[in-house]
Amino acid sequence: MTKDQLIKDCLNLGEGCVVDYPYGPTVEVLKNNKGKSFALVGFLAATDIASIKKNCCENVPMNESDIFITLKCSPELIPVFRQKYLAVIPGYYSNKNHWNTIIVDKDVPHEELIKMVQLSYDLVTPNKK
């Protein structure tokens, strides 16, 4: 999956979804029609990998330029996803109790990733209006 494909999938979740760049040009932040963030998408850099491996996840398969997506998640599902998939780690630069970061194209099937994106969108868009 390419970064552009992943962003397109995110934008197709609801009317009025947009891409924003509050953290600079290297991380796309996907927001719903109310301006609430539900996904952050970018490429891993060497410094990101070093920090992730040092702080929590030395066995996670990742390389420079891998795509990552950070998604909101219900607290009861956080440990489920992290135990099931090596590529699901605590939210990078996010609240670790409410966000997961997924290294794309590793051990999380595409269909499952899209369900995680939908869950994140639904959590920040409860009435979808």
All structural domains of the chain, each given as residue ranges with its CATH number in brackets, are: 3-124 (3.90.1150.30)
End-to-end CA distance of the chain: 30
Q: Which pLDDT band holds residue 128 (cuts at 50, 70, 90)? A: low
Tell me the whole-structure pTM to 2 decimals: 0.93
- 95 vs 82, more confident: 82
- Interval 21-45: pLDDT, tens: 999 999 999 999 999 999 999 999 9
| Chain position carrying tokens 């995110």 | 10
At position 9, the amino acid (one-letter code) is D
At position 83, the amino acid (one-letter code) is Q
